[in-house]
Homo-oligomer: A and B are copies of this chain.
Amino acid sequence: MGSTSCAHVRDPRECEDCSARSLSVCSALDVGELDGLHEIARSTFYPNRSSLFRQGEPSEFVFNVTEGVVRLARLLPDGRRQIVGFAMPGDFLGVSVHATYGFSADAVEDVAACKFGRKAYEDLVASKPHLLKRLHDFSANELSLAQDQITLLGRCTAEERIASFLLHMRRRWAVVRGKPSVTVHLPMSRQDIADFLGLTIETVSRTISRMARDKELTVVPHGVRLSDVRRFEQLAAA
């Protein structure tokens, strides 16, 4: 514990509630409990703005987010930034073939996560083919989602990107919370959304403002309320 900067252990008990939902970004799969994994994990608390790990650091740990949203960011050498995903409760983080993390993971609100030592994790996975199969399926699903994002960035307009993003977040919260809601919680900043969608903060702000002006949504603290989900599904297309 504590080797990751800004992390504080909230609860020294073994992690009781590690139901993995994805390898590094988002996933709608619900797989229930991953037997054995919880036995090697520790529940850890990460306050808003703290890092779970940083790009380039040795990938010593694997995480399973249990509460809050984590921003996954890649930094280019010249400072440009691309958010490759937002990890939400149930998501797995830090699984990689590489010796170092490929992106930084930062809490954009207070976060709780189960933290696994990589070696213990690898050993456990090696000894449980069924567990490995599930992780492999997750990772194939992650790949498919990454390809959705590639299509979005390569071929969609600013409006389509925003609409897709809002629906995407809504869908993910529906999985986490168990029921869908027209109010979408967005703990990340406009800059984070912009860097996720390959836009500028001004374009994100303008597009959301225009949607609000057109009564397609209402801006609320740390989120938006969609007036007509159908309308957004049309806009999203992709």
Which of A's residues lie within 8 Å of B, judged by CB?
23-24, 29, 74, 76-78, 80-82, 84, 95-98, 102-103, 125-126, 129, 132-133, 135-137, 139-144, 146-147, 149-151, 153-155, 195-198, 237-238
Contacts and interface: CB of A to CB of B under 8 A. Distances in A.
Contacts of A76: 151, 155, 237-238
Chain A's interface: helix, strand, loop or mixed, by majority?
helix
Nearest to A135: B136
30 contacts: A23-B140, A23-B143, A29-B97, A76-B155, A76-B237, A77-B237, A81-B155, A82-B150, A82-B154, A82-B155, A84-B150, A84-B151, A95-B140, A97-B141, A97-B144, A125-B133, A132-B132, A132-B136, A135-B136, A136-B136, A139-B140, A142-B143, A143-B143, A146-B147, A146-B149, A149-B150, A150-B153, A154-B195, A154-B196, A154-B197
A132 to B, nearest CB: 6
A141 B23 CA distance: 12
Nearest to A74: B151
Given A155-B195, A155-B198, 19 more contacts: A74-B151, A77-B237, A78-B237, A96-B140, A96-B144, A97-B137, A97-B141, A97-B144, A102-B147, A125-B133, A126-B129, A129-B132, A135-B136, A139-B140, A143-B143, A146-B146, A150-B153, A153-B153, A154-B197
Q: How many copies does the complex hold?
A: 2
Contact of A126 (B24, B133, B151): B133
Contacts of A97: 29, 137, 140-141, 144
A51 B77 CA distance: 39
A43 to B, nearest CB: 25
Contact of A153 (B23, B81, B154): B154
A11 B84 CA distance: 43
Nearest to A153: B153
A225 to B, nearest CB: 27
A147 B84 contact: yes
